[in-house]
Amino acid sequence: MLDTSLRPLKDRLLAPLLCSTNLIPPFVHPLHITLLALLAGLLSCYVAASGPRAVPFLLLVLPPGTAEAASTSLFLLNRLLDSLDGALARQRGLQSELGGFLDLLCDFVVYALVPICVGVGRGTSTSSSSSSSSSSGGVGTPFLSNLWLSISLLEASFYLNNFVLFYSAAVLAKLSRSPPSQGQIHLTSLPLRPALVEGFESAVFFALMLFFPARLAPLAWAMSLLVFAGTVQRVVWLSRVLVAAGEGNGREGKRREEKGREGKRGPLAR
């Protein structure tokens, strides 16, 4: 929802980093930053799932109760690097289809793992069976506070939303390959409609989940409902585009039939 309006601000904030060869040497490729972003995101998920047990692996000395801050900081680093790789590629003219694919793939991997790992961390942090049953969505847990039900619904909303996005992209790319003379609508000029939850909003939700794992269930419910609402928005928009494109193709088909009939009558008339 806010990605487009925040883009100029993000570019201004990243400009000093991009202009400094000391911070980003010339030999650093945007794909290197993409992989570093993935590593930071995976470490964030690891800390969220393991809590204090993650300290030996990371070789860090974390005071008790600071695992949430560590996982959130790593996730914010992931978001910073994710913004930096694309900006660096544009500045140095290194944009590539592979880079775009890997960037999106890494985002989806981290986004899918964050709620699950926070849920795992909530389960391992409980000290008694009764609190474990309550926090992990066991039998008798109230509907809205059922942790794993909320996580499942959130993951399902991601699945449906991504299906709509990629199906939209595939259909629009297919239609845009048609020459202008074959239709009245130029679909390549139509951007995908913004939704309620995009990159910025997702980052805010995930950061809150990592920093306040005890609030994971309500955060997951809220995010899933907003993602579902945004998916409905995109479905309605795409349906209108496809109906309009179908009407344009139908009119073009009728014109071709009329031209064909006129061509058949022409020799007979002579």
pLDDT at 54: 56
Please state, in angstroms and as integers, the Cα–Cα distance from residue 111 to each residue in 42, 190, 203, 216, 238, following that order. 10, 27, 9, 14, 25
- pLDDT tens for 56-114 read 555 455 555 678 888 999 999 999 999 888 888 888 888 888 888 898 899 999 999 99
The domain total for the chain is: 1
- State the pLDDT confidence band at 134, using cuts at 50, 70 and 90: very low
Please name the helix (run of DSSP H) or strand (run of DSSP E) that holds residue 4, with its range, or none: helix 3-19
First to last CA, the chain: 63
CATH number, domain with residue 242: 1.20.120.1760
pLDDT at 190: 40
Which structural domain, as residue segments, surrounds residue 250? 3-269
pLDDT at 139: 47
Q: Which among 19, 37, 115 is positioned nearest to 83, based on CA atoms?
A: 37
Residue 259 has pLDDT above 70, yes or no: no
Question: pTM of the prediction?
Answer: 0.76
> HSE on the CB side for 260, CA within 13 Å?
6
pLDDT at 7: 66
Query: How far apart are the C-alpha atoms of 254 and 267, rounded to whole Å?
Result: 21
Q: Output phi, psi for 138, to 5 deg.
A: -80, -170
- State the pLDDT confidence band at 185, using cuts at 50, 70 and 90: very low
